[in-house]
Amino acid sequence: MKQTSFEKTILRMSAALVLVLLAGAFLTTIHAEASDDTIVYWGGGKRCHVKGCKRLTKDPALLAKMTKMTYGGAKKKGILLCSRCPGSSTPGKANPAGGKKKVGKDYGKYGRKGAKARKAWLKIPEKKYDSNTKVYCDALWMRVHEENCPMLVLKQKKKVITLGQADKEGWRIGESGQSGRQRCCFKGYRRNYPEKDISGDAMGIVQKLKNGKLKWHLAGCHRFTVKRDQTPMTLKEAKQARAYMCPHCVERGPSLTTADLETLKMRPTAPVFTPPEDWTPVPFSPHELPSKKEMNMLIKETLAQGSGIQEAVYKDPVATMEEFMGRRFFFPVGQWLAFYLGYRATGDKRILESLRVSARHYRDLCGKYPSVARQKAKNPEHMTFMYSMAVSARLTLQLARKHPDQVSQKEIAEAEGFLKAMVATLKPVCEGNDNLDPKMGIPKKLADDFRSRAFNRAANGIGTYAMASAALKDLQAIRNTTEYQPQIDLYQKCVQQWVKNWKSVGCLYTEADGKKYFYYPYGASEKPKIQDGLKFYGADDQGHFGHCMQGAMLMYDATPELGVDDDFMTAIANAIYHNSYTKNGSIQCPSADRIRPLSRHPFALPIDRFYMFEAFRDGIIDGQCSKLSKRKKAEKNSGYSARLKTLHAQYLKALRKDRTLVYLGETK
* Contacts to Zn ion by CB under 5 A: 49, 53, 55, 82, 84-85, 145, 149, 151, 174, 184-185, 217, 221, 223, 246, 248-249
Q: Cβ neighbours of residue 557 under 8 Å, at least 6 residues apart? A: 466, 467, 655
Task: Tell the smallest beta-carbon distance from residue 51 to Zn ion (Å).
Answer: 10
Short-list 465, 446, 642, CA closest to 551: 465
Minimum CB–partner distance for residue 309 and Zn ion (Å) = 19
Query: Min. distance of Cβ 40 from Zn ion in angstroms?
Result: 9
Q: By C-beta, is 187 or 287 nearer to Zn ion?
A: 187
Of residues 96 and 546, the one with the C-beta less far from Zn ion: 96
The span from the CA of 542 to the CA of 586, in Å, is 6
Give whichever of 245 and 289 is closer to Zn ion, judged by the CB atom. 245
Nearest distance from residue 21's CB to Zn ion, in Å?
A: 22
**Per residue, what are the HEC states of 301-331?**
HHHCCCCCCCCCCECCHHHHHHHHHHCCCCC
Q: Are 289 and 344 spatial neighbours (Cβ–Cβ below 8 Å)?
A: no
Amino acid at residue number 430 = C
Which of 173, 295 has the CB closer to Zn ion?
A: 173
Q: Phi, psi at residue 507, to the nearest 5°?
A: -125, 115
User: Which one, 84 or 267, has the nearer CB to Zn ion?
Assistant: 84
Question: Which C-beta is closer to Zn ion: that of 145 or that of 544?
Answer: 145
In the complex with Zn ion, the residue whose CB is nearer, 82 or 573, is 82
CB of 569 to Zn ion, least distance (A): 39
The least distance separating Zn ion from the CB of residue 374, rounded to whole angstroms, comes to 18
Nearer to Zn ion (CB atom), residue 375 or residue 392: 375
- Give whichever of 82 and 399 is closer to Zn ion, judged by the CB atom: 82
Chain centroid to CA 175: 18
Residue 5 CB-density burial (10 A; 0-12 exposed, 13-18 middle, 19+ buried): exposed
Q: Which is nearer to Zn ion, 53 or 488 (CB)?
A: 53
Q: Which of 539, 533, 386 is nearest to 454 (CA)?
A: 539
- In the bound complex, what is the minimum distance in angstroms from residue 127's beta carbon to Zn ion? 14
Rounded Cα–Cα distance for residues 276 and 205 (Å): 33
Listed in sequence order, the residues at least 6 apart from 42 whose beta carbon sits closer than 8 Å to its beta carbon are: 48, 49, 66, 67, 68, 69, 74, 79
Return d(Cα 500, Cα 505) in angstroms, integer.
9
Rounded to an integer, what distance in angstroms lies between the CA atom of residue 403 and that of residue 396?
Answer: 10
> How far apart, in whole angstroms, are the C-alpha atoms of residue 361 and residue 327?
15
Q: Give me the least distance between CB of 94 and Zn ion, in Å please.
A: 9
CB of 259 to Zn ion, least distance (A): 13
> Are the C-beta atoms of 235 and 200 separated by less than 8 Å?
yes
Cα distance between the two ends of the chain: 69
Our CB check for Zn ion shows the closer of 174 and 606 to be 174
Nearer to Zn ion, 54 or 596 (CB): 54
CA 375 to chain centroid, in Å, comes to: 17
Cβ neighbors of 276 (< 8 A, separation 6 or more) are none
Q: Are 301 and 273 in contact (CB under 8 A)?
A: yes
Q: Which is nearer to Zn ion, 103 or 184 (CB)?
A: 184
Q: How far is the CB of 633 from Zn ion (least distance, A)?
A: 36
Q: How far is the CB of 103 from Zn ion (least distance, A)?
A: 20
Handedness of CA 22, 25, 27, 29 (dihedral sign): negative
Least distance from Zn ion to the Cβ atom of residue 149, Å: 3
Question: Within its chain, how far is the Cα of 75 from the centroid?
Answer: 38
User: CB-wise, 185 or 552, nearer to Zn ion?
Assistant: 185
Task: Outline where 30-147 has alpha helix (H).
Answer: 60-65, 71-76, 111-121
| DSSP state letters, 532-555 | TTEEES-BPBHHHHHHHHHHHHHH
Query: In 10 A of CB 493, how many CB atoms?
Result: 17
Q: Which residues pair with 141 in a beta bridge?
A: 255
Cα distance between residue 449 and residue 440, in whole Å: 12
Q: From CA 379, how far away is CA 429, in angstroms rounded?
A: 8
Q: How far is the CB of 179 from Zn ion (least distance, A)?
A: 9
Shortest CB 324 distance to Zn ion, Å: 16
Nearer residue to Zn ion within complex by CB, 77 or 223: 223
Minimum separation from the CB atom of position 252 to Zn ion (A): 8
Q: Provide the minimum distance between the beta carbon of 47 and Zn ion in the complex, in angstroms, as a whole number.
A: 7
CA distance 625 to 608: 9
Quick one: 8 or 155, whose CB is closer to Zn ion?
155
Centre a 10 Å sphere on the Cβ of residue 167 and count the other Cβ atoms it contains.
21
- CB of 432: closest distance to Zn ion in angstroms? 26
- Closest by CA to 498, choosing from 533, 446, 535, 546, is 446
Contact of 441 with 490, CB cutoff 8 Å: no
Name which of 118 and 643 has its Cβ closer to Zn ion: 118
Q: Find out whether 294 and 284 touch, Cβ atoms under 8 Å.
A: yes
